[in-house]
């Protein structure tokens, strides 16, 4: 998910820069309209809106920026530059990067499994990894709870809508039936009079 957020942020920056230069490469509909309609309007005015979107996006995802180094270390412990690692973990990360058995386990099992198999001597790195994993589990469980609540609300909403529909149908049906009875009664009375 972090990669998706970073990629979208880069796209917003690119779009803003291109709109300032009236470049509509990534906006094919605008480009087509410009060509087909001989549109001479400037799309530079939308660069400011793009800038506002980027600012809002950065505000909403500011936590991602603070986690970037940690997530890079967690997911790429074998290739991370040691200068970007916090000082209390530097020695451990250097040893991990040079351990061929751990590298083989990483290739074979993946990131999360690697940290389960770290020897006890890598105490700081294990603690760090468990914090990251716990953070993701917290996110996943919050998301699951949200979907559960949404699902319950949807079922409740469907039930309420169905009850409302039945109520409406019965009321409307009764009104319609009584109106039809009155109309047919009038017809009978008029046929009797004639």
Q: Between these two residues, 177 and 61, which has the higher pLDDT value?
A: 61
| Number of domains the chain contains | 2
Considering the domain architecture, whether residues 99 and 189 belong to the same structural domain is answered as yes
- Enter the tokens of residue 187: 């017809």
Residue-number span of the structural domain to which 177 is assigned: 75-194
Residue 154 phi/psi, 5° resolution? -65, -45
**For residues 153-170, average pLDDT:** 57
Residues 95 and 155 in one domain: yes
pLDDT in tens, 21-78: 888 888 888 878 777 766 666 777 788 888 888 888 888 877 777 777 888 888 889 9
- Position 177 pLDDT exceeds 50: no
Residue 154 has pLDDT above 80, yes or no: no
The reply to whether 65 falls in a domain is no
162 and 185 assigned to the same domain: yes
Both 25 and 86 in one domain: the answer is no
Q: Is residue 69 domain-resident?
A: no
Domain contains 193: yes
pLDDT given for residue 153 in this prediction:
66
3-state SS string for the chain: CHHHHHHHHHHHHHHHHHHHCCCCCCCHHHHHHHHHCCCCCCCCHHHHHHHHHHHHHHHHCHHHHHHHHHHHHHHCCCCCCHHHCCCCCHHHHHHHHHCHHHHHHHHHHCHHHHHHCCCCCCHHHHHHHHHHHHHHHHHHHHHHHHHHHHHHHHHHHHHHHHHHHHHHHHHHHHHHHHHHHHHHHHHHHHHHHC
Roughly what angle, to the nearest 10 degrees, separates helices 62-75 and 2-20?
130
Same domain, 81 and 24: no
Q: What is the pTM of this model?
A: 0.49
State which H helix or E strand residue 35 sits in: helix 28-36
* CB distance 101 to 65 below 8 Å: no
């Amino acid at each position: 998910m972090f990669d998706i957020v970073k990629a979208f942020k880069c796209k917003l920056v690119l779009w803003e820069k291109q709109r300032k230069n009236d470049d509509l490469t990534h906006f094919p509909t605008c480009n087509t309209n410009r060509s087909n309609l001989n549109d001479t309007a400037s799309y530079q005015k939308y660069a400011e809106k793009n800038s506002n979107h980027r600012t809002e996006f950065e505000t909403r995802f500011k936590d991602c920026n603070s986690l970037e180094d940690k997530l890079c270390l967690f997911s790429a412990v074998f290739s991370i530059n040691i200068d970007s690692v916090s000082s209390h973990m530097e020695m451990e990360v250097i040893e991990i990067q040079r351990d061929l058995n751990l590298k083989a386990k990483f290739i074979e099992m993946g990131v999360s499994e690697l940290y389960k198999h770290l020897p006890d001597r890598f105490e700081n790195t294990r603690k760090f990894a468990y914090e990251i994993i716990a953070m993701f589990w917290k996110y996943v469980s919050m998301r699951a709870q949200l979907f559960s609540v949404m699902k319950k609300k949807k079922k409740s909403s469907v039930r309420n809508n169905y009850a409302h529909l039945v109520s409406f149908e019965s009321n409307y049906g009764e009104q319609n039936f009584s109106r039809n009875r009155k109309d047919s009664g009038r017809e009978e009375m008029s046929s009797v009079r004639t």
